[in-house]
Amino acid sequence: MTRKPSKTAVPSAIRAGAKGPVPARSDEVPASNRATRAAERRAAIVEAAMDEFIARGFAATRLDDIAKRAGVAKGTIYLHFKDKESMFEELVRTVIVPVVTRLTTLPPPTGTVRELVETFAGNFLKEVIGTRRGDLVRLIVAEGPRFPSVADFYYREVVSRGIAAMRALIELGIARGEIREKDLARYPQILVAPAMIAVIWQSLFARHAPLDAQEMLRVHLDLIFGERRTT
Amino acid sequence: MTRKPSKTAVPSAIRAGAKGPVPARSDEVPASNRATRAAERRAAIVEAAMDEFIARGFAATRLDDIAKRAGVAKGTIYLHFKDKESMFEELVRTVIVPVVTRLTTLPPPTGTVRELVETFAGNFLKEVIGTRRGDLVRLIVAEGPRFPSVADFYYREVVSRGIAAMRALIELGIARGEIREKDLARYPQILVAPAMIAVIWQSLFARHAPLDAQEMLRVHLDLIFGERRTT
DNA sequence: TGACTATGACTGACCAGTCAGTCATATATT
DNA sequence: AATATATGACTGACTGGTCAGTCATAGTCA
């Protein structure tokens, strides 16, 4: 059957002579070729989807809103993603991977263990705490139970690696005599716990009581490495 | 006594909070009087709603399912709650309050500060970590941003009180010389961070890697109070 | 009996996912 | 180079299903 144009009014799509075919997008970039345009669109969708999912959660997010925000028609989303669920899953992967890569790109192993940990904490502070990526972490905590594949992915790619890296640092610290508490190596979670709390705090309670995450992390490191003799 | 039907149910006769040990054995009952029956129904709805909300999140939870699980008709829910949102909000209050009350009922201030903190941690471990209440905390983290009133309530009734209580303990510990890190009093979050992480871990990653929360908390306290032989 | 409480069929809004049709761009032909 | 044809990215009206909230009716207790 033909897509009957509509019984009344002129078919919107046939505005003869209309020039701007896609006026929605804010930045009018005349993408060179198709492949590039497609990649840009996909990126725009991911971007928009992240904002919407963070703001409303998975179930309450409307694909219409994502499409609108991305400056794309709803159908276009389905050219890039199978459905809402797999869009969410791919989104998490797409956003998380680069962050992990960047954070695990350790600096040259020079200096004390404390300095290594401080560098890591500094990066985490800058890249995650209080940023949209931090909100994404909160989102994963929120939706994880309903998306086993996301939880699995997150555990495998982020948590287990992070724990292993922290454990290695702790063991190095113990070996060098910088850390006294030997059992800490059994629970690297303790090392990162305040950082995670900071992420959640910024999302939920920043408006009630601002938290100086940097200073809190410093105090925590003092607790683990012993008071610091300032720089 | 005139039961004010008003628009929203009055949270008065809600003694049957969680597991009512009082009601006679078995179930299905002698339903003495109307007020009692009403309270029981309300409790059943709250119970069912908590399970559903924890399992599916706010938006994805169907009132039909809550009604079915609670053994009542959907319309009955509306005799007790104005709508889905206020049901969620009241649910959080109803469930959280008793827990906070129980946890803040401190033991006699005898013994060391470490013992006080250990008692608190032990209660928290038993009452929250790995239980449905822990899942509720995760749920609040998840839905908080979309329910400012819930986040406000939680901050006011739980977080700020908990932080204040922890700060008092830390200051006492510092005064008595049990805690060396003086700056800790500025960030009581550090004291509870591992406990919160344990809550989240049990919800999300217990399947991948079981976590001995009790032992982790012990190590953390060793870190704060200094080594100490355990039982 | 009369007031109060419970029920569940029903309604209307809402939304994920579809697909016939369009048109800018790429490729083939002259 | 200019023109013709092919491709597939893109659109958005539409469908089918879902679900929060309602209310006429039935049931229960005092």
Which among B146, B184, B201 has CB closest to A56? Answer: B146
Residue A23 has pLDDT above 50, yes or no: no
- Between A24 and B225, whose confidence is greater? B225
Residue A26 has pLDDT above 50, yes or no: no
Domains and CATH numbers, chain B: 1-82 (1.10.10.60), 87-225 (1.10.357.10)
Rounded distance, CA B84 to CA B61, Å?
10
Q: pLDDT exceeding 90 applies to what percent of chain B?
A: 72
Residue B116 has pLDDT above 50, yes or no: yes
Centre a 10 Å sphere on the Cβ of residue B92 and count the other Cβ atoms it contains.
Answer: 25
Q: Which residue is nearest to nucleotide C25 (CA to C1')?
A: A34
- Between A35 and B92, whose confidence is greater? B92
- Closest Cα in chain B, distance from residue A9 (Å): 38
Query: What is the predicted pLDDT for the residue at B39?
Result: 82
Pick from A181, A187, A112, A43: nearest CA to B224: A181
Q: What sign has the CA pseudo-torsion A62, A63, A68, A71?
A: positive
Query: What is the predicted pLDDT for the residue at A81?
Result: 95
Centre a 10 Å sphere on the Cβ of residue B145 and count the other Cβ atoms it contains.
Answer: 19
Residue B122 has pLDDT above 90, yes or no: yes
| pLDDT classification of A229: cutoffs 50, 70, 90 | low
**How many Å from the CA of A230 to C1' of C10?**
72
**How many Å from the CA of A15 to C1' of C29?**
31
Instruction: Verify whether the Cβ–Cβ distance B183 to A219 is below 8 Å.
Output: yes
Pick from A173, A194, A132, A152: nearest CA to B207: A152
| pLDDT classification of B228: cutoffs 50, 70, 90 | low
- Closest Cα in chain A, distance from residue B110 (Å): 26
Rounded distance, CA B50 to CA B95, Å?
9
Chain A CA closest to residue B206: A155
> What's the angle, vertex CA B148, arms to CA B145 and CA B152, rounded to 5?
115
Name which of A65-74, A202-211, B70-79, B109-118 the model is least confident about: B109-118
Query: What is the predicted pLDDT for the residue at A230?
Result: 55
Residue A32 has pLDDT above 60, yes or no: no
Centre a 10 Å sphere on the Cβ of residue B165 and count the other Cβ atoms it contains.
Answer: 16
Which among A155, A204, A211 has CB closest to B145? Answer: A204
B179 CB burial (10 A radius; 0-12, 13-18, 19+): buried
**How many Å from the CA of A3 to C1' of C21?**
7
pLDDT digits (tens, 9 = 90+) for B23-68: 333 344 444 677 777 888 899 999 999 999 999 999 999 999 999 9
Question: Average pLDDT of B76-101?
Answer: 93
For residue B91, give every residue at least 6 positions away whose Cβ sits within 8 Å of its Cβ, in sequence order, or none. Answer: B46, B49, B50, B53
- Closest Cα in chain A, distance from residue B228 (Å): 11
B27, B71 contact by CB (below 8 A)? no
Pick from A25, A216, A77: nearest CA to B188: A216
Instruction: Verify whether the Cβ–Cβ distance A144 to B204 is below 8 Å.
Output: yes
Q: What sign has the CA pseudo-torsion A99, A103, A105, A107?
A: positive
Query: Residue A163: left (phi > 0), alpha (psi -120 to 50), or beta?
Result: alpha
Burial A17-51 (b: 16+ CB within 10 A, else e): eeeeeeeeeeeeeeeeeeeeeeeebbebbbbbbbb
- Between B200 and B22, whose confidence is greater? B200
Name which of A46-60, A107-121, B182-196, B197-211 the model is least confident about: A107-121
DSSP secondary structure, B19-34, as one string: S-SSS-SSSS----SH
**How many Å from the CA of B126 to C1' of C11?**
47
Instruction: Verify whether the Cβ–Cβ distance B190 to A151 is below 8 Å.
Output: no
Centre a 10 Å sphere on the Cβ of residue B217 and count the other Cβ atoms it contains.
Answer: 23
Chain A CA closest to residue B148: A204
| pLDDT classification of A228: cutoffs 50, 70, 90 | low
**Strand D contact nucleotides, protein CB < 7 Å:** 9-14, 18-24, 29-30
For residue B35, give every residue at least 6 positions away whose Cβ sits within 8 Å of its Cβ, in sequence order, or none. Answer: B3, B13
For residue A70, give every residue at least 6 positions away whose Cβ sits within 8 Å of its Cβ, in sequence order, or none. Answer: A41, A44, A45, A47, A48, A49, A77
